[in-house]
Amino acid sequence: MELEVRHLRALCAIADTGSLHRAARLLGVAQPSLSTQLRRIEQELGGELFIRERTGCRPTPLGRIVLGRARPLVAEMRSLVAEARAAATDGLQLRIGSTASRALAGWLRRLREHRQEPLLQMDVSANALLNMVAGGRLDVAFVHEVEGCPLRIPDGLRLRVLVEREPQFVSLPNDHPAAARPVVHLSELAQDRWMVDPTVDGEWDAVHRMLRSAGLNPRVLHGDYHTAASLVATGEVVTVCQPTRQSGPETAVRRLHGDPLGVRLLLAARTEAELDGVHPELAEAYEETARQAPAYREWLEHGGSGTPVPVLP
């Protein structure tokens, strides 16, 4: 007998339900039929995959190994079927990957106006998204490259630079003394705790290098963007942030003196045609987002380097 996806799906159902009876009901087959199928699978693989007990079934060591390989295959097949059905009924969907960006909402909105609903894959790792594009799992990816920490660009990818150097600003509590001024010196933040997301490619290295160059050695906490935002609001930390972030009731976004940290914003695809198909919408969305962020708008209007697009008064 040759193993098929339906056999792997049956194994996953047995493991998930813990019972041949419940698995058979889930799969819509008779229990004796499922039991016979399981015996044939075990004969094919050369050992028992489940221990049958009065209370149900539990995987053997061999079963755990097989399930570890079966689950991603079943998930991939489910995804393939879903995408194929969507393509058959609605046309091919654009598969987009992105690191965090406030321009994302406007980009997706503009793409929807010209084509079918895009499929979105978010990831903090730009390198992971680039590999997904190179492997055909995504059509295009919008990523940022932290200054001094080059991304690993897979062979065969085409790149389009959206912004050569986007300065990174600082987010700090509204009642912080430095928040009273539009430009903050790093020395004013020497006594603060900083929060950095170490899972973002290059971010920790770049922030550490920036602080060390300023002669600072502050306390550093690790956390994601959402945690950092909530802790800034309560006065626990300060953090670097994208200049498109807007100040809020409890937080202030300010420019760092000398713009010591920057990122390059990139669009990646396998062909120039794919880049041409999405770049104009992204550029428009980024301009819109820049207009809505007062601190960044002011930086651009006063001749900040790396201007991505004209920001009109």
Q: Assess whether pLDDT exceeds 60 at residue 3.
A: yes
Q: Assess whether pLDDT exceeds 60 at residue 309.
A: no
Residue 308: pLDDT band (50, 70, 90) is very low
Q: Give the 3-state DSSP-derived string for the chain, with helices as H, strands as E and coil as C.
A: CCCCHHHHHHHHHHHHHCCHHHHHHHHCCCHHHHHHHHHHHHHHHCCCCEEEECCEEEECHHHHHHHHHHHHHHHHHHHHHHHHHHHHHHCCCCEEEECCCCCHHHHHHHHHHHCCCCEEEECCCHHHHHHHHHCCCCCEEEEEEECCCCCCCCCCCEEEEEEEEEECEEEEECCCHHHHCCEECHHHHCCCCEEECCCCCCHHHHHHHHHHHCCCCCCEEECCHHHHHHHHHCCCCEEEECCCCCCCCCEEEEEECCCCCEEEEEEEECCHHHHHHHHHHHHHHHHHHHHCCHHHHHHHHCCCCCCCCCCCC
Q: Assess whether pLDDT exceeds 80 at residue 82.
A: no
Measure the CA–CA gap between 273 and 277, rounded to whole angstroms: 6
Q: Assess whether pLDDT exceeds 60 at residue 247.
A: yes
Write the Ramachandran bin of 8: left for phi over 0, alpha for psi from -120 to 50, otherwise beta.
alpha
Query: Where in the sequence of the chain do the CATH 3.40.190.10 domains occur?
Result: 95-165+262-293, 167-256
108-135 pLDDT, tens digit per residue, is: 999 988 766 789 999 989 999 999 999 9
Q: Would you state the structure tokens that stand for residue 93, as one six-digit string? A: 């969907």
168-205 pLDDT, tens digit per residue, is: 999 999 999 999 999 999 999 999 999 999 889 999 99
Q: What is the pLDDT of residue 77?
A: 82
Q: Assess whether pLDDT exceeds 70 at residue 88.
A: no
Angle between helices 31-45 and 20-27 (to 10 degrees): 110
Q: Which residue has the tokens 């300060």?
A: 238
Name which of 157, 116, 113 is nearest 280 in CA terms: 113
Phi, psi for 308 (deg, rounded to 5): -80, -40
Q: What is the pLDDT of residue 11?
A: 93
Q: Assess whether pLDDT exceeds 50 at residue 265.
A: yes
Q: What is the pLDDT of residue 2?
A: 82
The reply to whether the predicted model has a pTM over 0.85 is no
Q: Assess whether pLDDT exceeds 90 at residue 79.
A: no
CATH number of 5-88: 1.10.10.10
Q: Which residue has the tokens 């406007």?
A: 106
Q: Determine the topology of domain 95-165+262-293 in CATH.
A: D-Maltodextrin-Binding Protein; domain 2 (3.40.190)
Phi, psi for 117 (deg, rounded to 5): -55, 120
% of the chain at pLDDT higher than 70: 92
Cβ(178)–Cβ(188) below 8 Å: yes
Query: Where in the sequence of the chain do the CATH 1.10.10.10 domains occur?
Result: 5-88
Average confidence (pLDDT) over 229-245: 95
Residues forming a β-bridge with 265: 144, 163
Answer CATH for 167-256 from 3.40.50.300, 3.40.50.150, 3.40.190.10, 3.40.1390.10 = 3.40.190.10
Give the chain's mean pLDDT.
89
> Which residues contact residue 86 at a Cβ distance below 8 angstroms, ignoring those fewer than 6 apart?
93
Residue 40: pLDDT band (50, 70, 90) is very high
